[in-house]
Amino acid sequence: MSELKNDLLLKALRGENVERPPVWMMRQAGRYLPEYIALREKYDFFTRVQTPELAAEITLQPVRRIGVDAAIIFSDILVIPQAMGVEVLMEEGKGPLLPNVIKTEKDIISLFTDKVEEKLDYVMKALTLTKQELNGEVPLIGFAGAPWTILCYMVEGKGSKTWEKAKEFCFTQPDLAHRLLQKITDITIHYLKAQIKAGADVVQIFDSWAGSLGPEDFKRFAQPYLIQIADALQDDAPVILFPKGSWYALEELSESSASALGIDWCISPKMARELTSGKITLQGNFDPAKLLLPIDDIQKEAKKMISEFGVQKYVVNLGHGITPNIPVDHARAFVDAVKGSQW
Ligand code: CP3
């Protein structure tokens, strides 16, 4: 495997000194890029995900176009329910739909946790191909959904603002919920280990809906599984945990074996540093909607954010994924604010 020409992300995740912080954007592959939209017209979502050449091409697009310091593999968190035997449809413009939701013990018993490497072989092929095509330019990030966030989709069947059914399931049938969460955790650990073997230099765990749980319930239904995953991977590659919205968990998670914690814009850099006592690298937390500001203001706001976090132990990113309405030159301005300044 080729040496990395740009290892800023790996250095920041190891807590080593950097001349400037690395920058990438969650959901940078896809959505707002015209070259992605062109591919979307030709191939449906899961064809894009399951064809290694297409997934590799989409992964490389933002590296070429806006010059980010890392690539994140084009895939989806919902390939895990698929590998467990659950049907997942992606309705163009609407989001995911899982027609057969998990309700009973029987449903959970019938879920597969084996052969993930074979079933998701197309992800491994996409990673290996992307790694080759990157030719050491920047590191490659693999990812998975966190068990709680995956449970949300498996029980609710589609996106939700409140995740009422998922919460009802956890609160009224906690034993079943823990069995499901443990099954998702087991397969996710195998999946991420396979991703690292196939070429991922770093992995991120997206707990996108963590913030719909209060502190105590996060500690019951989300945190233990995040910690299991981080512990299982600590000797394989750096792990970034992104428990979106769960600022209350930062203090405890800063003691975990993860290399970094992702945060959203609902907590100040100062407070996040205080809660984590400067112990762990932080990633975030620019409000994606601020990418709609005029370019000069994007750059001013980005620099202000970096000065608040500090240059070391920091990965510049958004506080959640980039949205489809962001002009490409605004996304690039955000990256340039980091790369073009003296720190
Ligand atoms: O970061 C990247 O650029 C890599 C690609 C990536 C996708 N999904 C591609 C995608 C990643 C990291 C994800 C993760 C993902 N998928 C999450 C966690 C991150 C987050 O934003 O919270 C979640 C919750 C999902 C589930 C999912 N997939 C939803 C809710 C949707 C529809 C709405 C939307 O656009 O996000 C998807 C579809 C999806 N996954 C698209 C992309 C580019 C959009 C569909 C399209 O462009 O055709």
> Over the stretch 119-169, which tens digit does the pLDDT of each residue have?
999 999 999 999 999 999 999 999 999 999 999 999 999 999 999 999 999
Distance CA 67, CA 333 (A): 10
1 located within any domain:
no
DSSP 149: H
The number of domains in the chain is 1
Element (H, E) at 138: none
194 located within any domain:
yes
What is the pLDDT, as a whole number, of residue 92?
81
260 located within any domain:
yes
- Ligand 1 lined by 31 (C-beta under 6 Å): yes
- Residue owning the nearest CA to atom 34 of ligand 1: 95
- Ligand 1 lined by 30 (C-beta under 6 Å): yes
CB 25 within 8 A of CB 334: yes
305 located within any domain:
yes
Ligand 1: centre distance to CA 343 (Å) = 33
75 located within any domain:
yes
| Residue 244 Cα: closest atom of ligand 1 | 22
The answer to ipTM > 0.90 is yes
Distances (CA, A) of 151 to 19, 109, 273, 298: 40, 15, 30, 36
322 located within any domain:
yes
CATH number at residue 35: 3.20.20.210
Helix axes 147-156, 174-198, angle to 10 degrees: 120
- Residue owning the nearest CA to atom 43 of ligand 1: 30
181 located within any domain:
yes
Please tell me whether the overall predicted TM-score, pTM, comes out greater than 0.95 for this model: yes
Ligand 1: centre distance to CA 313 (Å) = 27
Known binding residue 29? Answer is yes
What is the pLDDT, as a whole number, of residue 343?
81
What is the pLDDT, as a whole number, of residue 2?
53
Alpha carbon of residue 80 to chain centroid:
14
Distance CA 236, CA 222 (A): 22
Q: Which domain holds residue 253?
A: 7-340
2 located within any domain:
no
Best probe residue, ligand 1, of 44, 76, 240 (max atoms within 8 Å of C-beta): 76
Known binding residue 75? Answer is no
What is the pLDDT, as a whole number, of residue 235?
98
Regions of the chain where pLDDT drops below 50: 1
